[in-house]
Amino acid sequence: MEFDPKQFDKIVDRTQTWSVKWDPDYMIERYNRTDLLPFNHAEMDFECPPPVIEAIKERANHGIYGYTLVKSEYYDEIIKWFRSRHNIKYSREDIIYSTGVITAYRQVVDFFTKPNDNILLLTPIYKPLSLAVKEYQRNLITVPLTLENNKYIIDFDLLEKAFETQPIKLFSICNPHNPVGRVWTEKELKQIGDLCLSHNTLVVSDAIHCDLTAKNYKYIPYASISNEHAMNSIIITSMTKTFNLSGLKVANIHIQNPELRKVFFNILDKKFAYAPSVFGIIALIIAYSKCGPWADLLTDYLDENYQFMKDFIENHNLDIDLIHREGTPTAWFDFRRVPLPYEKVHLFLVQKARLITVDGSYYTANGEGFQRLSIGFPRSRIQLAMERIKTALLGLS
């Protein structure tokens, strides 16, 4: 079917829908006010694709929502999607379902490492990844990404030093990288992979944003680099970010190495790794089979939102910078030129711009002075947020 790109301009009232972003009671609990624009979550304010809505309505009309089977159609659509969109061939045996990427990641950390093992992450990085390391009593090793010419890069000298100074059991990569928006190149992934192979380090890749890449950038699945790299990796994916379905709780773990997956998958079954909800299963099948063109329109719209923010900053000579974005539905703002202590910027934006962002210090390490904002909004809301930032900054001077 044809999808209407004007859908993304539609304002949908999400108050009183138990939204973690928009619920007035929750906003009062956190900030003691309800006049804020919540740009802090990496979910979008767009209705999901119409075929998904219709399929969920049809199933809801049945009236019974009991325990659910995950049948062959579910795996078939995952396999087809990744083969056609990302040029990687998974088999049915490679995949086990989960109810979320972080749930799956925690299961990987718990099973494939032991207390006091070292787990390495590149920072700044999504905090739940580092929290899992600490909460399972593993040692968190971080290597800071380097900001160079408005783009983050990996300092491979620093990375090699980290490998040489302590044994690394697990390397956690985020691709595309949340929050800095990098989509790692094949060359970068191979360099990482070669280091991990030479040091007997397993790789786990959080690829939840893999479909949301900017124009002229392509997600390269880590497991597609070579068979050797595939046999030393675990990939975690989900369609929830792609189609704005985070509330349906669906994710998948991909392990192509039969020796790695055999015991792990078996243990997950024994620990009652229940299937996703019936609505999540149906949504995945319909989204992957019928809504690829919708996802293409979405990525175009996200690109345009990012460009709107960038142009707005330049046209109004604001003392902030927008870091180069290659993927994810978010933007990474550099507020280091603003005459405020880094730790006060977030509260300044809440109080003066009436805008909720995520402070860069949240992202494990190396994020001070930055703020992350969602770009998954109708353009009119993007414009309103930027106008509020401008007014707040002008008030400073």
pLDDT in tens, 305-327: 999 999 999 999 999 999 999 99
Whether residue 214 sits in one domain with residue 78: yes
**Cα atoms in the Cβ-side hemisphere of radius 13 Å centred on 29:** 7
Mean pLDDT of the region 173-188: 98
Lowest mean pLDDT across 131-145, 234-248, 270-284: 270-284
Provide the pLDDT for residue 72: 96
Provide the pLDDT for residue 69: 87
Whether residue 279 sits in one domain with residue 305: no
Question: Structurally, how many domains does the chain consist of?
Answer: 2
Partners of residue 142 on adjacent β-strands: 121
Mean pLDDT of the region 237-262: 96
Whether residue 376 sits in one domain with residue 235: no
Distance CA 178, CA 210 (A): 11
Q: Between β-strands 95-98 and 330-334, what pairing exists: parallel, antiparallel or unpaired? A: unpaired
Tell me: the pLDDT tens digits for 352-364?
999 999 999 999 9
Whether residue 111 sits in one domain with residue 229: yes
Tell me: the pLDDT tens digits for 208-247?
999 999 999 999 999 999 999 999 999 999 999 999 999 9
Whether residue 12 sits in one domain with residue 107: no
- Collapse the DSSP code of 141 into the 3-class scheme (helix H, G, I; strand E, B; otherwise coil) and give the result: strand
Alpha helices in the chain (DSSP H): 24-31, 50-60, 72-86, 101-112, 127-135, 156-165, 186-198, 227-230, 258-270, 278-290, 292-315, 345-352, 379-396
Whether residue 10 sits in one domain with residue 119: no
Q: Residue 56: inside a domain, yes or no?
A: no
Residue with tokens 């790692």: 184
Tell me: the pLDDT tens digits for 186-201?
999 999 999 999 999 9
Domain assignment of residue 232, given as a range: 65-290
Whether residue 149 sits in one domain with residue 29: no
Residue at which a domain ends, from 233, 255, 290: 290
Distance CA 379, CA 386 (A): 11
Q: How confident is the model at residue 376 (pLDDT cuts 50, 70, 90)?
A: very high
Provide the pLDDT for residue 377: 98
- Collapse the DSSP code of 69 into the 3-class scheme (helix H, G, I; strand E, B; otherwise coil) and give the result: coil
Provide the pLDDT for residue 270: 64
Whether residue 84 sits in one domain with residue 213: yes
Mean pLDDT estimate for the chain: 96
Whether residue 252 sits in one domain with residue 134: yes
Is the Cα dihedral 312, 371, 17, 46 positive or negative?
positive
Write down the pTM of the prediction.
Answer: 0.96
CATH of residue 259: 3.40.640.10
pLDDT of 266 above 60: yes
Provide the pLDDT for residue 197: 98
Whether residue 303 sits in one domain with residue 251: no
Q: How confident is the model at residue 78 (pLDDT cuts 50, 70, 90)?
A: very high
Q: Between β-strands 370-374 and 358-359, what pairing exists: parallel, antiparallel or unpaired? A: antiparallel
Q: Between β-strands 233-237 and 251-254, what pairing exists: parallel, antiparallel or unpaired? A: antiparallel
Residue at which a domain ends, from 290, 309, 326: 290
pLDDT of 272 above 60: no
Provide the pLDDT for residue 257: 98
Provide the pLDDT for residue 283: 98
Whether residue 178 sits in one domain with residue 84: yes
Residue at which a domain ends, from 248, 275, 290: 290
Provide the pLDDT for residue 151: 97
Whether residue 199 sits in one domain with residue 232: yes
Mean pLDDT of the region 250-265: 95
Cα 86 versus chain centre, distance: 17
Provide the pLDDT for residue 271: 59
CATH of residue 30: 3.90.1150.10
Judge residue 198's burial from the number of C-beta atoms within 10 Å of its C-beta, 0-12 exposed, 13-18 middle, 19 or more buried.
Answer: exposed
Q: How confident is the model at residue 273 (pLDDT cuts 50, 70, 90)?
A: low
User: Which amino acid is residue 225, in one-letter code?
Assistant: I
Provide the pLDDT for residue 305: 98
User: Which amino acid is residue 142, in one-letter code?
Assistant: T
